[in-house]
Structure 1
Amino acid sequence: MDEVEVVVAHDERATVRVGEVFLKIDADQAATDREVEAMAAAPVPTPEVLWRRPPVLALAALPGSAIARLGVPSTASSEAWAAAGAAVRRLHDAPPPPWTGRDLDADAARLDEECGWLLAHDVLPADLVTRNREVASAALRPVEPVFMHGDLHVAHVFVEGGEVTGILDWTEAGRGDGLYDLACLTLGHPDHLGDVVAGYGKDVDLDVVRGWWSLRCLTSIRWLFEHGFDASAPGCEVDVLRAQR
């Protein structure tokens, strides 16, 4: 009998694996609706939907393995990272879905709130927060929205050899800034940013990518802490902030 592996679990959703089946349990069925619709429309490999019985969505396991893990050096080849960049470009070139993804005004407000919380609770040194808040400002600019994944964490991109075999977790997909996807994909793995941009095949404003690195880290530390994750682990969010210049 296959064991039940808890992939991730918090108060918003949980994912467990049983053999070759992933079961996603989400309290927000509208989010699951968007995920299923986004996967059907995305011009990149996605998991097969096996069945859906709210609040559970059953997905087939993807071949290959995650391109990397946060805090651990990637063993994937430069070709695999470039293939990931090319897959993201195909997504961004596709017709975007009708619903909005990330909202810049909301991002700016959350940045203010989270920086205030970090300083009030003495979580990070004030100069580190101030410096990264300045870096983050580069991401908060008008942009032509594209079909964005919205949470393109390295653990969500599966590769085998030099090819992308699938992209997971489309809950946050929508219309938004494509450079946010590139930033999520390379967060904690800046040494592969060049490979991703080469595969993307389009001029990329690297200051904006770095801005999204800072913004994502600054605004996620409290959530990670409250949900039992360690943002100060080697190579994770706090180290990313420290590396920013």
Structure 2
Amino acid sequence: MKTQAMENARRWLAERGVVKVNGGWVDAQEPDRQLTANEIAHSWAGEVFTDEFLDATEQVRLAFGLLDLLDDYWVTCEIRFADRGPGGPLPADALWDGYRRRLEAKQDAEAVTYSLWADWFEDHNTAATAFAEVLGNDIGRVVAEGSTSLLRRADRVLACSSPVPWPVKQGVYDTVARLPALHRPLFKGLLGGYHDVYGDLEPTAALALLARMELPADTPHLAELRSVLAAGHRNHYRSPSAWDSAV
């Protein structure tokens, strides 16, 4: 993916002596040592938010350009630190537009989805806002339009939505149950809701959702999930023997 944001990030790094040469990164101060993307992310992603020549929106866009360029999760950490830190919050439009665009893109979005799952969704202070911004506010459009990019975004968000509190995501889950194209990622969200340490689901409602979904009978772990939910279990870690019994 070659975006203007990525090119701006490449130019910004080059101004600081960090360039890509022969497929690897080097710093002008240590030209004989090749740097990893992760090293660059740790060294420079946070510096974006101290650049006084950029306003807050430009800083956010540049940070996402670094994410495109480096494809390293640590960039998303620095974005979150800046939003939640003393200089935050970041401009919400730029912040969440950056997430939505990358969730809709064809390119791999693992760093973005991991960021949502491990950081924004696991934190009850940010889960509701983050889930609404990346999916909840647009679920009507997803159903009405069903475009490839919107379905791709919904797919990715649902699959990593396990830590989102059940009352926050239940309405979206109920709506998604009407879309067979999203039943597999919805199932991943439900399965994670049961197995993840911070997963959250309501057994009766989750079981009712499963009954509405079009999933192959041999879907891995479908029978076990139905069994534990029918028995009223909310989370694997609260009843560790329940899953083994179901298996």
- The reply to whether TM is greater than 0.5 is no
Taking structure 2 as the reference length, what is the TM-score of the superposition?
Answer: 0.29
Larger radius of gyration: 2
Q: Would you tell me which structure has more strand in proportion to its own residues? A: 1
Higher relative contact order (Cα pairs below 8 Å, separated by 6+ residues): 1
Taking structure 1 as the reference length, what is the TM-score of the superposition?
Answer: 0.29
Q: Would you tell me which structure has more helix in proportion to its own residues? A: 2
